[in-house]
Amino acid sequence: MLLGDLGADVVKVEQIGKGDDTRSWNPPSAPLLPDATEGRPESAYFLAVNRNKRSITVNFKSPEGIAILHKLVAQSDVLVENFISGKLAEMGLGWEDCHKINPKLIYASITGYGQTGPYRKAAGYDVIIEGEAGLMHITGEPDRPPAKVGVAATDIATGLYTHGAIMAALFSRQQTGKGVWIDCNLFESQIAGLANIASNYLIAGQEASRHGTAHPSIVPYQVFSCKDGFIMIGAGNDRQFASFCTKILNLPDLSTDPRFSSNINRVQNREELVKIITDVLMTKNRDEWLEMFKELGNVPNGPINNIKETFEHPQALARKVTVEVDHPRAGKIKLVAPPVSYNGQKMPVRMPPPCLSQHTNEILTELGYTKEQIDELRVQGAI
């Protein structure tokens, strides 16, 4: 999808009749137009991650279907696949097969655990990898069971790593004229995403634990309850903490109290300080505190917004974070817009998420098939 945002012609190859599994991950789904009588509604999940793509359905078990895919490979710059390691090679679509057809092809494999090692044949699922690669161990409240992140963070991170790798491979090809096999996987992407937590263990042998929204090394740096909601406060240094105590809490002596006068002391006396802060914040509504923080200006803070509040945020409105597109079966739908601007301009959403097999005839025609040949392929069950 990110390559499509940048202008690439992205062809999504799907299973005949069923398509991408996420098409049926509903509710919720987009309501169908009155004249859209065939097929199921498109799930909101599918619509979220498939803008700027075309859809073709091909039978991978049919020789004629494989021939179609070989023609696509011959004309493509990049192939992205997420089959279990070795599966496409069994069908004649592995790296070696495709490299022979198109030596300049960038072949990006996304798996659960990579192309080598004892887990190479295991399927990869975001929530499983979150647990297996450490993320779930550090997510959640300290006195509660491990929790998953609210979105598929490992999937998203792996996609971003793959996107960067593809862009680098395209630059490499400009210099060498040769294609590249990219091996990206959820497991290693998630381990890389452990960042400073991983470094704490590797450098100091320090095992991590769960802290909820709090920071293990900075206090106060967490979500606090207010009278009618929640607010995130991050006083990251002594100066910010002094301003917070004096101008917000109206407790000027708190920052000079020996228990809290330095961050090291605040970490050691975390529970006591958090209770003092919470008791004060519970006396006013969230927005009252936010207004006071705005006037102060030098202590990081922010509301805990629900999704409605997020999309109604003044900055979200100013930056046009949503875009409306015309979907052939659902009519006008809203999507999250691409988040990057170039020279002040948002990347356009050129095409809505495709209906299943919407572009099969169009793509086959571009590959050189005649109408009669396309009709025959459909009779054969190849498309």
- Residues designated catalytic: 155
Cα–Cα distance between 293 and 79 in angstroms, integer?
50
Which residue from 318, 310, 287 is spatially nearest to 150, judged by alpha carbons? Answer: 310
> 251-289 burial, b for 16+ CB within 10 Å, e for fewer?
eeebbebeebeebeebeebbeebbebbeebbeeeebeeb
Residue 5: φ, ψ to 5°: -60, -35
Instruction: Give the DSSP letter of residue 138.
Output: G
Contact 139, 213 (CB under 8 A): no
Which residue from 264, 268, 266, 235 is spatially nearest to 249, judged by alpha carbons? Answer: 235
Cβ contacts of 102 within 8 Å, gap of 6 or more: 73, 74, 75, 76, 179
89, two tokens: 């090679």
Cα–Cα distance between 325 and 294 in angstroms, integer?
36
Contact 296, 274 (CB under 8 A): no
138, two tokens: 């550090």
Residues pairing with 80 in the sheet: 108
Residues pairing with 334 in the sheet: 324
Scanning the chain, the segments in alpha helix (DSSP H) are: 2-5, 44-48, 63-75, 87-90, 95-101, 126-132, 153-176, 186-192, 195-204, 238-243, 263-268, 270-281, 286-296, 307-311, 314-318, 360-366, 371-380
